[in-house]
Structure 1
Amino acid sequence: MSYNRPSFRYKKPEAQNGDLRTPLTFYTSQVEEGVDGRDVSYKKAFYTMGQVYSPSMKDIEIASGKSMRAKMTLKIRDPLADYQPENQHFVEVEDIRLTNKKWQIIDIRPDFDNRDFLIVIIGGGQDV
């Protein structure tokens, strides 16, 4: 006698190329040489498509622990050896609803549900 038991196996959430539809440009920054010494120049480091969404409570807590304010969470494919985002880098989200502003990277972590992706929290200081 066989029973039809329900399956309770975990199914990881699937992300498809259609979900990654926002252009993202990552920049490195350095202080420009000159008299003033306060000018910053940005150099393009990496370009990709990603998913942009509101930060979760976990992301907000991570940012507040670093005295930052989380504005958005990005999900990008893991570029492996091509590029690794760092906290000193900046991101420009190319969306018509946002101004052309470069956001600071607050935190980077692998997506534990799907190892093919990285989660990047971006934002700015408390006054932003």
Structure 2
Amino acid sequence: MMIQVQLFKYKPPRVNTGDLRVPVKFYEYKPNDGPEPGEQIEKVLFECLAKVENVWMKDLEQAKTNGTVEDITITIRDPLDDYIPSNKHYVSVDARGYRDKDFNIKNNFPDPQNSSFIKVIAGITS
């Protein structure tokens, strides 16, 4: 009788803390109580370092049909109860090519490869 032994090869996580290099800021807009109508004030909710990726080309066509011009995927450490991303919030990325852009959060979910991180999908609508 022969016993078959399977050896599993270690696969390192796709994201680790060394990949979190880009400063990001999550915020929401609050209406201004001042005399000027339509003015809005930015209220910062959470700041951290993140890994920022553009969406894949296959997803780009789907993004265009959903009315977004540019989409990004942001991976951050799970802030637990300190901050929970919402589709009413925005994110700004402090990196060349992303500055002065307000990305609206579309979705967030735990990273399936590592429960210490969450992925946030954000986009700029047309």
Q: Quote the Cα distance in structure 2 between the aligned partners of 1:67 and 1:22.
A: 26
Please report how far the alpha carbon of residue 77 of structure 1 lies from its aligned counterpart in structure 2 after TM superposition.
0.7
What is the count of residue pairs matched by the alignment? Answer: 125
TM-score normalised per structure 1: 0.78
Q: Quote the Cα distance in structure 2 between the aligned partners of 1:14 and 1:105.
A: 22
Q: Quote the Cα distance in structure 2 between the aligned partners of 1:44 and 1:96.
A: 21
Match of 1:24 in 2: 24
Structure 2 gap segments, 5+ residues each: none
Cα root mean square deviation, aligned: 2.9
Match of 1:114 in 2: 114
Q: Give 3-state SS (helix, strand or coil) of 1:122's partner.
A: strand
Please report how far the alpha carbon of residue 13 of structure 1 lies from its aligned counterpart in structure 2 after TM superposition.
2.6
Q: Quote the Cα distance in structure 2 between the aligned partners of 1:95 and 1:6.
A: 45
CA pair 2-19 structure 1, distance change in 2 beyond 3 A: farther
Q: How does 1:7-46 map to 2 (within 5 A)?
A: 7=7, 11=11, 13-46=13-46
TM-score normalised per structure 2: 0.79
Q: Quote the Cα distance in structure 2 between the aligned partners of 1:123 and 1:72.
A: 6
Tell whether the 8 Å contact from 1:108 to 1:120 is kept in structure 2 after alignment. yes
1:31-74 per-residue CA deviation (whole Å, 9 max, x = no partner) reads 2124443222111110100000111345864x557533442110
Percentage of pairs with the same residue: 31
Match of 2:84 in 1: 84
